[in-house]
A and B are shown apart, each in its own frame.
Chain A
């Protein structure tokens, strides 16, 4: 092949530092935001009333069935036209990621709650528990354990998805590697390094998910 590797311009921690912190901050913030949206939407989706359930389900379907890249681009380029004011790339990207995560979290929440055996609901109601007490003391403690593994999995995906921020030029890891590759003419080294950085963060997380799954199965 005869290719001569040159890592000197690429293996510079200072170069990656700010990009890494942007990726991690976006991941953390949008995961937390998505979780909050997920809980609210999940509760709505469990409602016996159609008019409460339907909008929440509609939201979830909309965000699950369109590509995240399209959502981010839409929030950046299309939403300002409707809203009448421009939205910064930072906000558009964060909005897309958060709402997207929210849709998946809602589904995880709903699935966790309805996975609890019918007998548990009956037993709680037969004792005279109100819906809220039943949820708080009987259903959610059991459901939460089952939500953790899919939630960690979704968080892993979410961190990877932050790489889509580069389309609106938020200087995350992916965008930074693009810049570095362009300035050093070293795409092979650059993209190898960025892949390795993602792997180093995510591999332990997937391991954690595995362990949690084993614990829930017990």
Chain B
């Protein structure tokens, strides 16, 4: 089950407490609590529609929780039913601390690869162009796409586009990166190049929350895993534990449907 607050433990990077999210009568999240420590790679798994993506979108408040508390670093937001979103300014500043990578990449189609990566520093932080470009080029280098800097998104493969999207998120130097099924829209042969970049980030000690269906990758890279079902976290633990000895019958049945592939999945 969910971890409870422990006064002795160091303050987590992210703490979600009793998050509920309802869309009309449909309850997408039903009391989710989650702690993610600095440097943790937390993987969220579970069947489609279990609320993983909704939970992720509640972390950077793209989605307003119906109730519950979202804490990231020193920011703390308490939501109550019929309550309002925090002021726009505060939200915007908050989101700069959290990078997000989307299933459909969502690169800006009217900008080249390097302009996409520069967009955060340039538009949000109002950084000088030359400086933003240097940062962007270094990040494109890092994801192996320096030679595609001046290419428009429509001329990139899915794997390349997603790597540019990761670079775009990194350009803001976020404390946490959220991956929302980052490889689900990719052709199978393009999945590895993206996972490789994500693996590299994990090894650097980036704090990450990853929603994925790549179980092999999840087992390799995650240090903690949360299994969600029907809007709740039903099992949570160290990756090795959850994958090898799932306790909850629902986790067991879910995991049994995957053939674990070794290595990069």
**Is B96 a contact of A128 with CB atoms below 8 Å?**
yes
Q: Taking A120-B108, A123-B102, A141-B110 as contacts, is the C-beta distance between A129 and B62 under 8 angstroms?
A: no
Residues of B within 8 A of A129 (CB): 92, 123-124
Residues of B within 8 A of A184 (CB): none
**Is B106 a contact of A127 with CB atoms below 8 Å?**
no
The size class of the interface chain A forms with chain B is 10 to 19
Residues of B within 8 A of A119 (CB): 102, 104, 106
B62 → A minimal CB distance (Å): 6
- Asked if B109 is at the interface (CB within 8 A of a chain A CB), the reply is yes
How many A-B contacts are there with CB distance less than 8 Å? 62
The size class of the interface chain B forms with chain A is 20 to 34
A173 → B minimal CB distance (Å): 40
Residues of A within 8 A of B98 (CB): 126
- Asked if B211 is at the interface (CB within 8 A of a chain A CB), the reply is no
- A124 to B88 CA separation, bound complex (whole angstroms): 14
B96 → A minimal CB distance (Å): 4
- Asked if A137 is at the interface (CB within 8 A of a chain B CB), the reply is yes
Q: Which of A117-146 contact B (CB under 8 A)?
A: 117, 119-120, 122-131, 133, 137-138, 141-142
Q: List 20 A-B contacts (CB under 8 A).
A: A123-B106, A123-B107, A124-B108, A126-B99, A126-B102, A126-B169, A127-B96, A127-B119, A127-B169, A127-B172, A128-B92, A128-B95, A128-B96, A130-B88, A130-B92, A131-B88, A133-B124, A137-B119, A137-B123, A138-B119
Task: Name A residues whose Cβ lies closer than 8 Å to a Cβ of B.
Answer: 117, 119-120, 122-131, 133, 137-138, 141-142
Top 3 A-B pairs ranked by shortest CB distance? A119-B106, A128-B96, A123-B106
Task: Name B residues whose Cβ lies closer than 8 Å to a Cβ of A.
Answer: 60, 62, 88-89, 92-96, 98-100, 102, 104, 106-110, 119-120, 123-124, 165, 168-169, 172
